[in-house]
Structure 1
């Protein structure tokens, strides 16, 4: 009898400690008080470019609606309801999720049942708090009275700057402090899609994540995207203003080769153009005028032609004819490979005309100036 009791207790303990199996699907139960029968609701997936894609729809019946389905991993999503302004962002995962729709402000709707939603809400609350602080401080600075002391103004300025910095650093800070959260993956995706994204910092933050997150389908695809963005960023960064212009060697019309370093002057213009480029040809008379005026003072130009597209029967002859017709008497080079030209690739050229102005040290000091602005910059540099 004693042995039976012991085995019974052990069995109960085993059952009590048994891990509950993870769900492989989701059920969203929407409670929508005040919303009429027949109104349609939409479940949308938020994609990496910030756009939303509808993945399901449901009809409100007796102030309720529901969605069912599966996701590979917790994913930033949204719900919108016809006749209700705005949308509700939330983290969708394979679980039973209950949503109480607030008809007056759908963004304030209550969500339960999604563990990654808790991380999402923590981030949003912290972001809102810091942003309000930053906005309040800016407002105080705008409304500061003339008779208030400089000390007070300086104090507010420092506080405002600190709040703005904290707001900018919040995404990375959150990711580094929540290395096992799927919302951290979503946050990296959001930040990476911004024009001013710091890809180096995002990659560093990604590398702090738990291995389970990084090996997930979302983690793997995100890493590929970050690597591609880093390559694009590096291409752009190497020809940013302030950088030394990368040297290159390319063939001249006569079949010789010349490098940028061979022809650099006190001021150097690298002019990416083509015979087929209308804006380039219309700007050429201005460039000729500037070259004739300042060449004796140290101005050099190297024209890099992007001729060689498939519509040109004889790209080289077309290039040579344009040089002669437009009276372009400076150095010219081209691989006649259109935008696949190695020099164009080196300088991350996606459209022409494109112009780089270099100082005597070969540093890029300006880009894409035309007309009087181009002449003014050349004159300024020659006088230094």
Structure 2
């Protein structure tokens, strides 16, 4: 009898351990419908599509993912094809230790995707209901060509990056169509309500996600107000990876004329670590963040070659940083062909978080003109604007 009782106790203990382990993992069960995608990718909102955190293969219309999650986070789920095209619709999913069932439809019907399971996913679904409708409305406006004006779209898609034309259209308030303006006004109110919810619920990781999302969609942020909410959230989640990301983004979004540049260290093509400040000290410098897959970035970089040649012996330098994926083979081949004359560094797979530090994690690149004291003179200047600055300061 005593032996029998011991067996019952042992069985009960094992059952409790197994149940505990089951609850301590994130288990995604996925099904794809009407699409031949070979994988789905999960991307953090501050990562580039070419650098997905997780890629899950699709086999016979099914996919599965199992992992223990230390810190729940929000991920954007895309079709695997988006990794190559760098665009596509996404469905938000919170990875948390729970059973999560996902149905993924074709790109044309991505709004029909479903995510079921986990308290965070349930919470986000409730908060995001109005924004979800908004997303469908925006997609419809874009398909109909009723969101942005044709003039602005032409300027935006111009490989030579017609900055003056775009600036002119902005000043004339000719970026959005009347329907686009009405949509933006409605969207602004919904995003404001989501941030208000985050402010009132700082103990939820969903709030932290909404906070990051809000920073990412804005060109200019209220630094003091943003930092105040950051302090609340980071205090509630002291060991969460969002803390470093949020701080980087707040500082990066603050970059503008009159502010100090943000220093970093990145390897050159030989793997030697190079610190930006040591290369530009005492010089007027152009920091060129670009990528071999970013055509507008390449066009802007090319336009700077004559400026560099005219002023390189007068106290001007250019430091290029290429954002590349997997290896530097494509970058090396590109530079051998183009023979750009300035120093090149590389941020491979976002390892050095340079784009994040400059507040542009989802962008191909950016140009930052910096004076001899380390103060930013201009962000995304044209070659002519750089030349004008150099004529004033170096001549």
> TM range, normalised to the smaller chain?
0.3 to 0.5
Q: TM-score by structure 1 length?
A: 0.46
Structure of greater Rg: 1
Bigger RCO of structures 1 and 2 (CA < 8 A, at least 6 apart): 2
Q: TM-score by structure 2 length?
A: 0.45
